Amino acid sequence: MEARRTLCSLHSAHAARPASHTIRDPTPLDILRYRYHHGTNLGSVYVVERWLQPSRFPDGADGSSELAAVKAWVDKIGIEATQQKFQDYWQSAISEQDLQWLVEANCTTVRLPIGYFDLPGSRFTRGTPFEQYAHVYTGAWHSIRSLISRLRKRSIGVLLDLHALPGGANGQEHSGTNSGRAELWNSASNRALGVLCCQFLARDAQTASGIVGIQLANEAEWNAPAMYEWYDQCISAVSAIDPTIPVIISDGWNLAKAIEYSLRKNSLDPERPTAPVVIDTHYYWAFTDNDKKKSPQQVTSEVLTKLSELDGKEGSVVDRGATQVLVGEYSCVLTQDSWAKCNATSKEECVAAFGQAQSKRYQQRAGGSFFWTWKMDWMPGGEWGFVAQSNAGNIVAPKHALLTQHERVRVLQKAIRERDSRMHGALDQHIAHWTRADPKGNYEHEKYEYGWKVGYQDAFAFLQGRTTPGDRIGMLELWILKRLRESGYPGGFTWLFEQGLRKGIQDFYSAVGL
């Protein structure tokens, strides 16, 4: 408590704050949303994939998608019995022991794939292939809300992922059907229904405290027609309801293009600021002929080059806007051809090196990462399994997550002791630099000082944890954007506030060894 009182005094200690500022200490929801997300995908629960859960299909059923499963069961046992069967499964899919395991694995966030058919009310399935099966899903959303609440009680957030959109954002089975076509993009009615789904989620998230973001689409097709125009519609619709909730977009397998889009959306001075936009990108090395040619060692080296599209795009929100990337899916799976190239190294060692390299790289350059996946029939899942790979130490939580409570208290106290000397050192260095660089310049250095104080306090609050076990600011670029918008500074030397903010955060992590 003493530590909190000491650091909280930072915001009231300096008169540089503009009257219009709205900066307050990070709330528990802020921390849930902007920390580093060491997460997992839920798996085949609310959007069925047969390869993950063949038990969800009756014997002899055709197809491999959610639609194939529900149709097969209704044909076999009728709609009422199917509704009860699905309801029973949702209620039993995630046990209390499962949730406790997530806590012990230092999981902060679950990416929860859902389908439009899981949302409550006939309007979401009218005119779609799921219309005749809508009754089966009458309890789906209540089940999802219950799971969100159970996770939140354990300080675990939920990213709601519209995995299955009307018509499908891609032609794969995880879009809900086996049509083999991505019919979202060329259908005005499907796109309109997709916007309606996003509006519902935004409204509902206002009463569900564990929602860290809403993902508009999963694995959108490469160069999908009018994809960004549809993103514009969805982002505007969500922002009109709640401009604070992060909105996640699929990069459509073109991260560089998505980064440029997000920089425009996350501008400091748009006419109408929108909800913060985050990019979802996926990394796999198990599906192409080119993948088969690579040894595990080559793939592991390649991991360290990923997210290089961010180079030169971060570090100055005032000048460029903000961009933030989440790795929404990755695994430790390689092709059998690749594993055969381990040579003298054992497969177990190759898997460990591959997984640990991914953990390291994503923690360095992304705002979070979500393993694919958690729940399937064949637990613990091998190289596809978050449980198997976490238990083996192949997927590694960030350093701060491994601190004991005693260690966390110790480093927080150290940060308090070093605060003033670090602040004065940073400010003196900053003033000296600009005095040399521009002796006749008239700079508002108090903005740098205030930014430093806010940044140091913010990083302290995240690690202290409030209602979480203690976290690091992972979604840093979007946190900087949020603080800039809240600062009340109209322009001019606002860049000094940003530089101070970044330096304060950096100095805090230097003080605590993170």
pLDDT for 17: 53
Structure tokens at 184: 């979202």
- Over pLDDT 90: what percentage of the chain? 89
Cα 125 from Cα 134, distance rounded (Å): 7
**Which of 338, 375, 448 lies closest to 89 in space, CA to CA?**
375
Mean pLDDT across 80-106? 98
Cα 66 from Cα 17, distance rounded (Å): 54
Structure tokens at 241: 């309801």
377 and 505 together in one domain = no
Beta strands in 154-246 (DSSP E): 157-164, 211-215
Q: What is the pLDDT of residues 110-145, one digit of tens each?
A: 999 999 999 999 999 999 999 999 999 999 999 999
- Tracing tokens 């069967």 back to the chain, one arrives at 85
Cα 372 from Cα 282, distance rounded (Å): 10
pLDDT for 394: 99
Structure tokens at 281: 């990108």
**351 assigned to some structural domain:** no
**344 assigned to some structural domain:** no
The SS3 call for residue 50 is coil
Q: What is the pLDDT of residues 389-408, one digit of tens each?
A: 999 999 999 999 999 999 99
Q: What is the pLDDT of residues 304-357, one digit of tens each?
A: 999 999 999 999 999 999 999 999 999 999 999 999 999 989 999 999 999 999
383 and 452 together in one domain = no
Structure tokens at 213: 């973001």
Looking only at the bridges linking them, the beta strands covering 368-371 and 157-164 are: unpaired
How many domains does the chain contain in total? 2
Has residue 491 got a pLDDT over 90? no
383 and 409 together in one domain = no
pLDDT for 2: 40
C-beta separation of 108 from 38 below 8 A: yes
C-beta separation of 431 from 22 below 8 A: no
Kindly tell me the burial class for residue 96, based on how many C-beta atoms sit within 10 Å of its own C-beta (0-12, 13-18, 19 or more).
exposed
393 and 438 together in one domain = no
Cα 302 from Cα 219, distance rounded (Å): 21
391 and 485 together in one domain = no
Domain that holds residue 97: 37-289+306-335+359-397
What torsion, rounded to 10 degrees, do the Cα atoms 386, 389, 394, 396 define?
A: 30
**212 assigned to some structural domain:** yes
Has residue 512 got a pLDDT over 60? yes
17 and 69 together in one domain = no
Cα 216 from Cα 390, distance rounded (Å): 28
67 and 105 together in one domain = yes
Q: Output the pTM of the full model.
A: 0.95
Beta strands in 89-184 (DSSP E): 109-115, 157-164
C-beta separation of 383 from 331 below 8 A: yes
Q: What is the pLDDT of residues 24-75, one digit of tens each?
A: 999 999 999 999 999 999 999 999 999 999 999 999 999 999 999 999 999 9
- Tracing tokens 């605060």 back to the chain, one arrives at 419
